[in-house]
Amino acid sequence: MQILIVTRHHGLVEFLARYIGSGHEVVAHATADKVKGRDVWGVLPLHLAAECGRFTEVPLDLPQDLRGKELTCEQVERYCSKPVTYEIVRHIHDICSYCGADNGTEDQANRRQGFDCFECGSVRSDVNTLFFS
């Protein structure tokens, strides 16, 4: 898996070199397309972390006066805990309005439209306006 580092801090990239070496692609802001299927290190919101093949968070507990500022490697070292790798499974809940069963799927791409509820057999649709317009 190709490594990607997501951070605004050069100090964090320097700090991460001891774990994953240097020369990896670094971006300040991540998008779903950018992180998809990759081995991503840094800080990400959960919905983007779920797109990664693997996501490693470097937990930073910064004092107020350092937030939003450029950090040195020494500052990262001082305020971070050990990196933690997560393998995230996304489950999108989709409750049947007739019986209350959860017809959710593990990925947006697999969402079904106009299918029968697996529990009660009601024909369901994500396009509710079809019924109410």
Q: List the x/- string, 67-96, binding to Zn ion by CB under 5 A.
A: -----------------------------x
Q: How far apart are CA 130 and CA 133, in angstroms?
A: 6
Strand-pair category, 25-27 with 54-57? unpaired
- 30 near Zn ion, rule: CB under 5 A: no
* Residue (29 or 93) nearer to Zn ion, CB: 93
- φ, ψ of residue 71 in degrees (nearest 5): -110, 145
Q: How far apart are CA 124 and CA 22, in angstroms?
A: 50
Q: Give the shortest CB-102-to-Zn ion separation in angstroms.
A: 9
* Residue (97 or 129) nearer to Zn ion, CB: 97
Which residue from 98, 112, 114, 126 is in contact with Zn ion, where contact means CB under 5 A? 98
- 116 near Zn ion, rule: CB under 5 A: no
List all residues 6 or more positions away from 60 whose beta carbon is below 8 Å from its beta carbon: 12, 43, 76, 79, 80
Residue numbers at the binding site for Zn ion (CB under 5 A): 96, 98-99, 101, 117, 119-120, 122
